[in-house]
């Protein structure tokens, strides 16, 4: 970053904040916002209610490390700032419509690996440009309330479908955080909800998983059944409700009016795997475990494993 952007009358906090946002841009993150690392009191109550009602289904890990989920200083000792980052994954190409559908986030390589590598480079760059900076990077891999932090950092609002929505580009984004021990200038939180009276996501959800007050009942969600559920049996009452969704679900995003502003991503690693775009129902049915391990070696589909994919396909029959 050129020193021309670092004015002599800027404070150290302002200079460091500018460096952080410049590095985020250089690394290809689409949005970067900053918030103060402090306890999330309102989210603590909301999360407790969610868990007490059993909406997490078999996702027992959501009950673990409760104190760390609502207080970043317990997750990263000495934390002063939470840097929230968004990475677009909206694909330019789509699957054939007559095939079992895969959620758009899973078209390419596993985002955990891709973004984690960027976060490591981010922290390294900050140490080079600022000095000793301690911190940890997270992307859907630890007890972090990512959407709450992104909202606090001014990046968007949490919609009725429980997803973060940006006013400029919709909701097809991966969220990541870098929690650090350096003091930065926080952005203004996003306080307005632009969903208004729209209920398209609620009306379109075939399993009625979207509840009032932006609560998603995981135990009714298609993504939960097709990805997270480890039991080999999907409940019979869900038969015929998956809308041909084999892995994950984009229905609540596809119908969201704000996603008319979505634009194709520019991340090479998220380029769709050819088989995901081209496979027919017959191709999926005939897929062997050996081929699955080769084709989807770096894909999010490996989370469900071969047996899980076969279970999902059978359930769609």
Q: Would you name the residues annotated as active-site residues? A: 140
Rounded distance between C-alpha atoms, residue 289 and residue 38, angstroms: 46
CA nearest to 106, candidates 315, 312, 316:
312
Please state whether beta strands 157-158 and 164-165 pair in parallel, antiparallel, or not at all (unpaired).
antiparallel
CA pair distance 148, 40, nearest whole angstrom: 8
How many CB atoms lie under 10 A from the CB of residue 236? Answer: 8
Distance from C-alpha of 62 to C-alpha of 42, rounded to nearest angstrom: 17
Q: State the Cα–Cα distance between residues 275 and 296, nearest whole angstrom.
A: 9
Pairing of strands 135-138, 164-165: unpaired
CA distance 31 to 166: 10
Smallest Cα–Cα separation from 96: which of 308, 317, 275, 299?
275
CB 66 within 8 A of CB 47: yes
Instruction: Output DSSP code: residue 186.
Output: P
Any idea what DSSP says for residue 170? Answer: B
How far apart are the C-alpha atoms of 314 and 317, rounded to whole Å? Answer: 5
**Pairing status of strand 164-165 against strand 215-216:** unpaired
């Amino acid at each position: 970053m050129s020193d021309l952007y670092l004015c002599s009358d800027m404070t150290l906090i302002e200079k460091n904040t500018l460096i952080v946002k410049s590095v985020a841009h250089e690394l290809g993150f689409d949005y970067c916002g900053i918030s103060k690392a402090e306890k999330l009191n309102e989210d603590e109550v909301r999360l407790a209610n969610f868990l007490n009602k059993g909406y997490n289904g078999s996702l027992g890990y959501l009950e673990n490390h409760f104190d760390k989920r609502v207080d970043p200083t317990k997750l990263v000792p000495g934390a002063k700032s939470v840097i929230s980052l968004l990475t677009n994954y909206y694909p330019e190409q789509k699957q054939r419509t007559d095939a079992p559908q895969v959620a758009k986030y899973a078209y390419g390589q596993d985002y955990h690996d891709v973004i984690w590598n960027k976060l490591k480079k981010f922290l390294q760059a900050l140490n080079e440009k600022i000095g000793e900076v301690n911190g940890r990077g997270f992307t859907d891999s630890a007890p972090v309330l990512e959407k709450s932090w992104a909202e606090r950092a001014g990046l968007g609002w949490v919609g009725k479908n429980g997803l973060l929505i940006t006013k400029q580009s919709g909701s097809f984004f991966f969220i990541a955080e870098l929690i650090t021990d350096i003091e930065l200038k926080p952005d203004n939180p996003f306080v307005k909800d632009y969903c208004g009276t729209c209920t398209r996501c609620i009306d379109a959800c075939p399993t009625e998983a979207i509840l009032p007050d932006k609560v998603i009942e995981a135990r009714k969600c298609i993504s939960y059944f097709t990805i997270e559920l480890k039991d080999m049996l999907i409940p019979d009452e869900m038969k015929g409700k998956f809308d041909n969704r084999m892995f994950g679900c984009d229905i609540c995003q596809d119908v969201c009016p704000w996603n008319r502003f979505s634009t194709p991503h520019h991340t090479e690693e998220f380029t769709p795997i050819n088989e995901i775009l081209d496979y027919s129902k017959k191709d999926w049915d005939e897929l062997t475990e050996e081929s699955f391990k080769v084709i989807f070696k770096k894909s999010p589909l490996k989370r469900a494993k071969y047996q899980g994919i076969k279970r999902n396909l059978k359930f769609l029959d």
